[in-house]
Amino acid sequence: MKKQILSEEFRRMQKLAGIITEAAFNSDGEPLMTHNQYRDYNEPSEDEEYGDSNDRMDIRRDFINEMKKNNIFVETFDGQEYFIRCKEHEDFMIYFPDDETIEIYDTKKGEQTQEFRYQDAVDYVLLNKGHLLTFDESVKERNREMDIDSQDRKNNLSEISSDLFKSAINVSKERGTDRRTYKLGQTYFNQFIGKPLMDGKIINIGVNKPQQGNYSDVSIEIEKEIYQNDGYHKGKTMIEKDFVYYDIDKDTFNTDNKEISRKDAVVLSRIAQHINPDTKYKETGKYFNIKGFR
């Protein structure tokens, strides 16, 4: 069971980084086809799979295959957000809100998301092809972000290490793909979602390591239910949010001077150890201000 869970977690992280597709790898993350075979593979439509003769256009599939024909690799975070890697700036972000529209956000121009019909979207990307990485260059970048040894994957020895994760977010910082950095962090720290912390529970946790910044931190979002004893909302329970930040490089929490419970200290210690195995917070009683401890 543990082997299966690790494999699924590992595979989910790869998918967020744009590493694999469902078609190219099996449930253990092992390749089902060679790189050249993968390049020649076109994702079948639902109509083809179920024998429906209706010649209905699948705008997402057709766009991705058209880009592949033009030596451009369209990758995805989660099947909702797609992107094409660029040479000198953050990726082209691509969305498919309905069966007729393609939305493109070009970070280089800093404009708002533009809406296109299918052919106009194809023409727009090809017009900017000189700024994009080729298919093979994108694959190399993708593999560089998550340099996973295939034998480790086969033997399932690869519960993602902190060093490997740091390497991935460093590459993401270099590329300026700040959003991808945060999403990688969400997957890496996913086990802490729902854990009780500071009179609430953790509802989100990610990593910030922006290209235009000299910091690297874990952002922990906490949701609390607060009963209102007075005021306009007297007698009601309101939802409030709070944040805790862990500086990865400096090995410090922004709660060091705040009095917290021992259980809170244990959760925060585990979060720190997950990214920094040799963190000073292994000694929870020494570096946290624990209620009743001092």
pLDDT band per the 50, 70, 90 thresholds, residue 269 = very high
Neighbour count for residue 237 (Cβ, 10 Å): 10
Calculate the CA 189 to chain-centre distance: 11
The Cα–Cα gap between 194 and 41 comes to 40
Query: Which has more confidence, 180 or 250?
Result: 250
**Residues 282, 283, 287, 288: what is their CA dihedral angle, to the nearest 10 degrees?**
90
Give residue 87's pLDDT: 81
Looking at per-residue confidence, does 67 or 170 come out higher? 67
Confidence of residue 276 (pLDDT cuts 50, 70, 90): very high
pLDDT score of 147: 54
DSSP annotation of 280 reads G
User: Average of pLDDT values for 135-163?
Assistant: 62
- 221: nearest Cα among 242, 248, 200, 194: 242
The secondary structure of residue 132, as a DSSP letter, is B
Tell me which H or E stretch contains 75: strand 75-76
Asked if residue 192 lies in contact with residue 206, where contact means CB atoms within 8 angstroms, the answer is: no
What are the Cα distances from residue 151, in Å, to 31, 147, 158, 240? 12, 12, 9, 46
Which region among 20-34, 81-95, 255-269 has the lowest average model confidence (pLDDT)? 20-34
User: Does the structure show a pLDDT above 90 at 73?
Assistant: yes
* Mean pLDDT of the region 24-38: 46
CA 175 to chain centre: 14
Query: Percentage of the chain with pLDDT > 90?
Result: 29
**What's the pLDDT tens digit per position in 193-212?**
999 999 899 999 999 988 77
Mean pLDDT of 99-120: 82
| Segment 213-228, tens digit of pLDDT | 788 999 999 999 877 7
30-44, 72-86, 112-126: range with lowest mean pLDDT: 30-44
**d(C-alpha 148, C-alpha 28), whole Å:** 13
37 close to 21: Cβ distance less than 8 angstroms: no
Per-residue confidence (pLDDT) for residue 90, from 0 to 100: 63
Rounded mean pLDDT of 182-198? 89
Amino acid type, 227: Y
Q: Which amino acid belongs to residue 126?
A: L
Closest alpha carbon to 147 in 120, 133, 167: 167
pLDDT at position 22: 41
Q: How far apart are the first and last CA of the chain?
A: 42
Q: What is the pLDDT of residue 9?
A: 53
pLDDT for 262 equals 80
- Regarding predicted confidence, which is higher, 32 or 112? 112
pLDDT for residue 236: 79
pLDDT exceeds cutoff 70 at 49:
no
Q: What is the pLDDT of residue 19?
A: 43
Beta bridge partners of 239: 225
Q: Mean of the pLDDT values across residues 102-115?
A: 76
Average pLDDT for residues 40-51, to the nearest whole number? 46
More confident residue, 188 or 22: 188
Residues in the chain: 294
Token pair of 260, please? 């917290």
| Domain locations in the chain as residue ranges | 22-145, 189-290
DSSP character at residue 29 = S
- Other Cβ atoms less than 10 A from the Cβ of 33: the count is 13
Report the pLDDT value the prediction gives residue 15, as an integer from 0 to 100. 52
Q: How confident is the model at residue 113 (pLDDT cuts 50, 70, 90)?
A: confident
Q: Tokens for 142?
A: 């993708």
